[in-house]
Structures are given as structure tokens and as C-alpha cells.
A and B are shown apart, each in its own frame.
Chain A
Amino acid sequence: MKTTEILVVGGGPAGLSAAIEAASLGCDVVLMDSDLKLGGQLIKQTHKFFGSREEFAGTRGFEIGNLLFDEVEKYKKEGKLEIFSNTTVTGYYKEDGIVSYTIGEETYDLIKPQRIVMATGAQEKRIAFPNNDLPGVYGAGAVQTLMNVYGVAPGEKVLMIGAGNIGLIVSYQLMQAGVKVAGIVEAMPRIGGYWVHAAKIRRLGVPIYLQHTITEALGDKVIEGAVIQEIDNTFKLVGEPMKIDCDTICMAIGLTPTCELLWSAGCEMKFVPQLCGYVARRDAMMRTSHPDIWVAGDAAGIEEASAAMVEGRIAGLAAAASLKPEGCQMLKEKSTDYLKRLENLRAGETGAKIRCGLEQVCCECWG
């Protein structure tokens, strides 16, 4: 059976950062990612990042991906980092710490790592409404993948559900790709995303329907329209139903952490609404209640890619230092800086929700 010192599950911003740090301490690292191409969400993000200079504010997401790929390449050449793409980790068996994975659909194998960093990212939330199973109903992530990775327009006229950052950014990108956006529907009385994104949309004349919800998709075989309606503060329907002309419905309701492997590993889990779902309890170095498992990025709670990269660096470094006593000094020095960078990213009003969520799952250290 294949063995490795560190296994990183997921090759998005968190996983790539973790793998780079672990390899920099001299560990043998294997990184597995279910997609054909590494980078997670970064490769489809054509917008410029906010956040901080250290985390590449002002740089477009896919360019940040390229910077990480350069670092990955370096450790690959040195033989410290092995990449498995198109590879899904299908199970963690806590009895013996063995991990199963498939490459494509035809190869199944096992690997025994000494330490694991789970950077499995997030999955999209859905809401149920009549005809939501018709072709033409997409998650926002799927639309972004179609457009920005494969160059395929999802439709001609899109109704966006959700005015958080994802809904706003994907709406703008749809328009950049020449797709019409019929409107954005948001259940809350205010826009969830940044004003600068919302302003761009409004300047292009796209209506944002606050305190509205989708009540039905129209169509027989494919989407031929949608019905939306106003709701009050208790989410009860008020006002008159309104028909929207569209051939695609894109749901940007929100994300929730992907944590199946953490559950099967028996990690202590907690439901934290501010982090958008069940997440693993962890210490400041991102170690879970399972002594061999670390967590980072959206899998640890939904946040932005900037924070995911720093968490990944901390987790990768800490997992590596647990195997290399000579790395402990390095961990001490670097983690002080990384923790400060996280604190900066989470400062102010926009970080309040995250800070409140983290208070509920972070512990000083495991006893």
C-alpha cells in the first residue's frame, strides 16, 4: 500500500497552501483533488480579490491560482510533492487510518498517511420550489464552472437567486459573457454582498428584488420562466406573484462546508450557523479532535479564499511540524505572522459574523 507523511485532501486555495507549507518543512506530501485541474474555485474567479496585500488583494482569483501553482511546481520538481488530480478520496477508515480513493471511475486504491489536512471546501445549498428539477436550474458554482472554465454560456437570460457576493459576482460575469440577467432575488431586506459589486450590477440596469423569493419555476421540459413574490420579515408571502422571463435559474443561496470525511474520522463536530453548517472543532493551529487530522478553508467554515489560504498554510505547517521536531521553531515563527494575517482579514464589521462563529468551535489546545 502507498504511504505518505502528509495527505492533503483538496487542491483549492486552502489545500494548495497546506501542501506547499508541509513540503517546505521537508515532508513528503501527497495532494488529491477530485477535479481535472487544480485550484478549486480560484481558477474560475475572474474578479479581483479584496482582503489584504499579503493575500493578493487587487489580483484576480485565477492569477492567485497561478502563483500557487508556481510554488507547487517547485516542490514537485524536488520530489517532495505528488499531485493526484481527477482523484476523489472516498473514505477514511478510523480503525487503521487508511484512506481510500478513486482515480477517475476505473481505479480504486488505498493510501496510509501519517497526517491528513482536510481541505475539502464547500458545496452549494439548495432550496426547494415547484419545478426545481427542470433542466436550467443551476447552482452558481456550476454556472461559473461552465462559463469561466469551459467557456459555455448556461443560457440566454438568467434569474439569479441570492444577492450575496457569489450571486452578485456571477451576475456580473454572466453579463460580461453576453448573457442577460433578468434580475436578482434576495430574501433578506438588504444586499448580502459588498456594495461595490452590487453597484456594478445596478449601473447596468439589473433589478435587485429585496425581500422576494422564487415561488415556482415555469416550463414543461425546460425552464421557460419563473414566478417571484415579495415576503415579509417572517418570510411569509405578501403582495402579488410576478412573472419573470428567463431560461435559466441560478441559485446562489449559500455554501455549506463539505465534511463527510471529518464525520467518518470521528472528529468532534458542531453546528455553527455563522460558519454555514457543521464544522470540526479545532485549535488555533487547525488541528481537529482527531490528533492526526487538520482542517482548513471552507471545510472549516465558509469564509473567503484569502482566509482559506492562510488557514491552509497554518494547517500544513502544523501537520508537518508534528512529524519533524526541527520544524517546531519554524512553526512558532511563521504561525505568529499567519495568525496576525487572519486577524486582519477578519477585523471590522465584515468579519464580525466569522469571529462569532469561530468563538464557538475554537479551543486553545487539545488536552
Chain B
Amino acid sequence: MTDKERDNVVCRCEEVTLGEIQDWIDRGYDTFEELKRVLRVGMGPCQGRGCRDIILREIAKRTGKKFDEIDPGTVRPPTKPIKLGIIGGREKK
């Protein structure tokens, strides 16, 4: 793995690179939920639509598990970022 490849941006929303993800997997953070907590991957505007697959594949590769053995994490609403004000009942202008 070259340095250039380690610098590949995997989670664009939170600007997390492949290298960072690999390092944390090797430290034992080998589920999507754990990586989300330490790196904020999948917590940006796209909610993991861009990076979840790539990260699950990387976990599978580094732990030797099969892709469908990796817990893909819990999906929670909202499916896209929404302004706090509109759920907080802010009056419409």
C-alpha cells in the first residue's frame, strides 16, 4: 500500500482517509459502528451511502471475514441531514 493510496478519501463528507480507517481496524475497531464512533465515518450529509460499502470491504479484507459477516451497522432516522429548527417546531416565516 503506497502513501498515496493511504491518502484516498473514503468518507468524503467527513474527510476520512483509507489509511486512518485501516489503522483503526488494526487496533481492533473492526465494526462499522465502532469506526463511526472514533472517526465519524458515515455521519455526514450522505449518511454513509458513499463510504459504508468501501469500509465494510476493508474490514472484511483486514479481518479475513466474509463481507456478509460484518455487521453493517444500525440505520437510524433521519436518512438525510435536516435542520434542527424544523423538528423543534420553529414557526414558519
Check if B86 sits within 8 Å of A90, measured CB to CB: no
Q: Is the CB of B86 within 8 A of A107?
A: yes
The reply to whether A132 and B83 form a contact with Cβ atoms under 8 Å apart is no
A-B contacts, CB under 8 A, total: 70
A102 touches B86 (CB 8 A): yes
Chain A proximity mask over B62-83: 1 for CB below 8 Å, otherwise 0: 0000011000101111111011
B1-46 interface (Cβ within 8 A of A): 4-5, 7-10, 12, 15, 18
Contact A123 B78 (CB under 8 A): no
Residues of chain B within 8 A (CB-CB) of A132 are: 8-9
A92 in the interface (beta carbon within 8 A):
yes
A91 nearest CB across to chain B (Å): 3
Closest chain-A Cβ to B86's Cβ sits at a distance in Å of 4
Total A residues in contact with B, Cβ cutoff 8 Å: 32
Contacting chain B: which of A58-66, A172-180, A188-196, A259-267? A259-267
A127 CA to B87 CA in the complex, in Å?
Answer: 35
Q: Give the contacts of A204-243 with B (CB-CB under 8 A).
A: 216
Instruction: Report the separation of the CA atoms of residues A125 and B49 in the bound assembly, to the nearest whole angstrom.
Output: 8
**In the bound complex, what is the Cα–Cα distance between A258 and B87 (angstroms)?**
24
Residue contact A90 to B50, C-beta cutoff 8 Å: no
User: Measured between C-beta atoms, what is the minimum distance from A250 to chain B in Å?
Assistant: 16
Indicate whether A93 reaches chain B with its CB closer than 8 angstroms: yes
CB contacts (< 8 Å) of B15 on chain A: these are 133
Q: Is the CB of B9 within 8 A of A128?
A: yes
In the bound complex, residues from chain B placing their C-beta under 8 Å from that of A263 are: 74-75
Please name all residues of chain A whose beta carbon is closer than 8 Å to the beta carbon of B7 when the two chains form the complex.
130
A270 to B69 CA separation, bound complex (whole angstroms): 11
Which of A90, A125, A264, A270 contacts B80 (CB under 8 A)? A90
In the complex, the answer to whether B8 meets A130 with C-beta atoms within 8 Å is: yes
- A278 CA to B75 CA in the complex, in Å? 13
- Whole-angstrom distance between the alpha carbons of A278 and B67 in the complex? 11
Give A278's nearest chain B residue, CB to CB: B72
Tell me, in angstroms, the Cα distance from A138 to B51 when the chains sit together. 15
B8, B10, B51, B72, most chain A CB atoms within 10 A:
B8
A366 at the interface (CB under 8 A from B): no
Whether B68 and A128, one on each chain, are in contact in the complex, defined by CB atoms closer than 8 angstroms, is no
Q: Answer whether A264 and B87 are a contact pair too, CB < 8 Å, given A90-B82, A271-B68.
A: no
The reply to whether B86 and A261 form a contact with Cβ atoms under 8 Å apart is no
Nearest chain-A residue to B55 (Cβ)? A128
Distance to closest chain A CB from B83 (angstroms): 7
Is A100 an interface residue, CB under 8 A from the partner? Answer: yes
Question: How near does chain A come to B53, taking the closest CB pair, in angstroms?
Answer: 6
* Interface CB pairs A-B, < 8 A, 7: A90-B82, A93-B77, A106-B83, A128-B9, A129-B8, A263-B74, A263-B75
Q: Which 9 A-B pairs have the closest CB atoms?
A: A91-B77, A90-B78, A271-B68, A263-B75, A108-B86, A128-B8, A133-B9, A130-B4, A260-B75
